[in-house]
């Protein structure tokens, strides 16, 4: 691999990391509202990535509740999938 290819790969990796960090911050803010829970009390769990290594699904747990957020794609943002439920409740069938 040439130096140019390595630099391009490094730049791309940095962009992916930045995008994923911004996604986590956006989901934390949204989940804080949806779950009526302070942002610092929320744990974000990575549930899925696409072939480009971008986050596609995030789980959020906090204040005895949990929720799943899905990426809508094309930089449209994140949406609550199904709705919040108690942290110990089974997943809907």
Question: Does residue 50 or residue 1 have the better pLDDT?
Answer: 50
Whether the per-residue pLDDT at 28 is higher than 80: the answer is yes
Per residue in 38-93, pLDDT tens? 999 999 999 999 999 999 999 999 999 999 999 998 767 999 997 666 766 665 55
CA dihedral 13, 15, 19, 20 (to 10 degrees): 20
Please give the pLDDT value at position 37. Answer: 98
Please give the pLDDT value at position 34. Answer: 95
User: Residue 41 has which token pair?
Assistant: 């009390």
Domain locations along the chain = 3-86
pTM: 0.79
User: Residue 37 has which token pair?
Assistant: 């829970």
* Banded model confidence at residue 26, pLDDT cuts 50, 70, 90: very high
Please give the pLDDT value at position 5. Answer: 55
Contacts for 61 with CB less than 8 Å, ≥ 6 apart: 42, 43, 45, 87
Quick one: how many helices (H) and strands (E) in the chain?
Answer: 1, 4
Please give the pLDDT value at position 73. Answer: 85
């Amino acid at each position: 691999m040439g130096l140019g290819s390595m630099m391009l790969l490094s730049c791309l990796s940095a962009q992916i990391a930045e995008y994923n960090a911004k996604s986590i911050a956006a989901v934390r803010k949204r989940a804080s509202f949806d779950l009526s829970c302070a942002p610092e009390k929320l744990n974000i769990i990575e549930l899925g990535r696409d072939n480009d290594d971008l986050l596609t699904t995030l789980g959020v747990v906090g204040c005895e509740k949990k929720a799943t957020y899905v990426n809508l794609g094309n930089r449209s943002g994140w949406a609550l999938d199904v709705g919040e439920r108690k942290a110990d409740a089974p997943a809907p069938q």
